[in-house]
Amino acid sequence: MAVCSSSTCCDGNFDEKEKNVSTTSFLESCIPLPLPQETLDDIVPKGKDFAVLHGAGMRHKAKYDPDTLYFAPFLLLPSAFPRREFDRVVKLQPLINVLMHKIAHDHEFLKSALEKTIQVDDFTARLWDIYTKVREEGVTQEVSLGLVRSDVMLTKCQAGCCELCQTPPYVTGHQVEVNTIASGFGHLGPMSGSIHRYVIGELRKPELLHHLPENDALAGLCGAMISAWEVYSSPKAVILFVVEDVTYNICDQRFHEYEIRRQRPDILVIRRNLTQISEQGRLTADKKLFIDGDEIAVVYFRAGYEPGQYHSEAEWDARLTIERSCAIKSPSIHYHLAGTKKVQQEIARPGVLKRFLTESEAEQVGQLFTGLYTLDRSAEGDKAVQMAMENPDHFVLKPQREGGGNNIYGSEIKEVLERLKDSQEREAYILMDRIRPPVQQNYLIRPHLPVTLAEVVSELGIFGAVLGSGKDIQFTNYSGHMLRTKLSSVNEALLHVHFYPTSTGWYKNCDLEVMAG
């Protein structure tokens, strides 16, 4: 039996009308839809109140006001997700943590993977410069904390085509990306589960509650930061959150602080942006980092992942100061580089995973990958360019950026590649097979907008934590999950627009055994 491969059956691009092709294009809700209008009129205001009063909030990007909080857009009901695939990716997360940890500590691999990218992508080049400088000076802190999130989408699969598609639903999970910096929604993921538990109870469906999976993402991620603080071993030292100049996703960040305080009342968290760190930060002779008199044990980056957060050389100097220090970083600069799109494309090459994992482990992790292609100026890259220009709807063009809103789709791929095909600039991108998930229906609840029953698709994020050095790993674990959902008509979802609500999952034992979220 063949394993799942994007080149065989599990890319979602086959013709479903073709004779004898069976797949799963639609996932049913455990609750019949649409709901009666009188039910919606009753439950929607309750759901909004629950969200606001339990910290599921954001500040409005277009109408920013530090004194005003809006509830974060959410789905009224859990979204369907197959139990089989959920269990599979949860089981794999500790391995993915180890994979990213080993990549981050493999200098020769990072150099080989990124040597062309850093010639054409200024931002990645600046990160590489910091990495090189710290490495040449001698790394002060060998221990790194990885707070990793592996994002997975379901892909429609032909029934019986591989070992993962033998029973319905005929879908399989494919990895969209791995995030190694600012992996958000550790609070809003579990909180959306609380909203759904409340809504299911109010709908008088208590028999469905046990299908919702437990989700301790906030406790797990914050517990990992506390473990790093303990390794640093300085009782008066604090944890530094590196944040944006203006934080819209404030509840998700603040609840990490509150959870650390709940678990360890003796640990203080401070927040600073890169500009403030450049003004207030200093290193002692023994490389301890101090901010306004506070010794820093752990640095948790919720910013620093995109060029716009570095306004001048001062912010770059702040990043270098942090990396030179003996504070434990999440992520360290080499972890940040390990999470770049180009590195993820390179590890998807045949046989590369075996550099970091056993043969059995490599096979399991490799089944998560969809097609990833280099755009280097080579025969291989030329073939990928031609492939994308001939069928642009089958692919996603990805630059070396995080934070959403950067990927290129459809006819725009052809336009970009037509402009870049003969230029070295194309090496700043990678190409990925476009994932074709099954759709489902759900109610979108958004501030100041009418309730909408819409067709949506979901992306599951699996959190993991790993602490260790290049010599050993102290722990690696699955820390929880989150599930984001967008309109099926939207190419890419941004974190602060209304069509990108967060939701969480439940297990459904109806005709198909699925988990929803």
Q: Write the DSSP string, 228-290.
A: HHHHH--TT-EEEEE--SS-SSHHHHHHHHHHHHHH-TT--EEEE-HHHHHHHEEE-TT--EE
Determine if residue 459 is labeled as part of a ligand binding site: yes
Determine if residue 392 is labeled as part of a ligand binding site: no
Cis peptide before 447 (omega within 30 of 0): no
Determine if residue 271 is labeled as part of a ligand binding site: no
For 446, the enclosing helix (H) or strand (E) is: none
Write out the two tokens for 189.
């993921």
- Measured CA to CA, the distance from residue 335 to residue 320 in angstroms comes to 14
Determine if residue 406 is labeled as part of a ligand binding site: yes
Determine if residue 508 is labeled as part of a ligand binding site: no
Query: CB–CB of 299/329 below 8 Å?
Result: yes
Determine if residue 407 is labeled as part of a ligand binding site: yes
Query: CB–CB of 342/114 below 8 Å?
Result: yes
Determine if residue 1 is labeled as part of a ligand binding site: no
Query: CB–CB of 316/347 below 8 Å?
Result: no
Determine if residue 344 is labeled as part of a ligand binding site: no
Determine if residue 46 is labeled as part of a ligand binding site: no
Of 145, 33, 153, 130, nearest in space to 82 by CA: 153
Determine if residue 434 is labeled as part of a ligand binding site: yes
User: Where do we find the tokens 């530090």?
Assistant: 66
Determine if residue 414 is labeled as part of a ligand binding site: no
Q: In what order do the strands lie in the sheet with 395-399?
A: 372-374, 429-433, 395-399, 408-409
Integer CA distances (angstroms), 66 to 184, 250, 417, in order? 20, 10, 42
Determine if residue 245 is labeled as part of a ligand binding site: no
Q: Tell me, what DSSP letter sits at residue 505?
A: B
Determine if residue 310 is labeled as part of a ligand binding site: no
SS3 456: strand
Determine if residue 399 is labeled as part of a ligand binding site: yes
CA gyration radius, the chain: 23
HSE value, Cβ hemisphere, 13 Å, CA-based, for 220: 25
- Binding site listing for Mg(2+): 402
- Binding site listing for ATP: 341, 398-407, 409, 432-435, 459, 486, 492
- Binding site listing: 253, 341, 398-407, 409, 432-435, 459, 484, 486, 492
- Binding site listing for substrate: 253, 484
